[in-house]
Amino acid sequence: MITLNDVKAAAEKISSYVRRTPLWKSETLSKRLGTNVYLKMELFQK
């Protein structure tokens, strides 16, 4: 079974290769769905 420590260790190993991408709040979707909707902008990955 994979543990939280396993996940943290893996994240540490790849952290220099991963670009953090922003979250943008979609006002349109949030209003339509009646809850906050955030979109992860993975298009900024290289």
Question: How do the domains of the chain map onto residue ranges?
Answer: 4-44
Separation in Å, CA 6 to CA 14, 15, 31, 43: 13, 14, 38, 28
Residue type, 12: E
Q: What pLDDT score was predicted for residue 45?
A: 78
Nearest to 37 by CA among 45, 15, 27: 27
Predicted confidence (pLDDT) per residue in 1-46, tens digit: 999 999 999 999 999 998 888 999 999 999 999 999 999 998 887 7
Q: What pLDDT score was predicted for residue 43?
A: 83
Q: Tell me the pTM.
A: 0.58
Categorise residue 10: left if φ over 0, alpha if ψ from -120 to 50, beta otherwise.
Answer: alpha
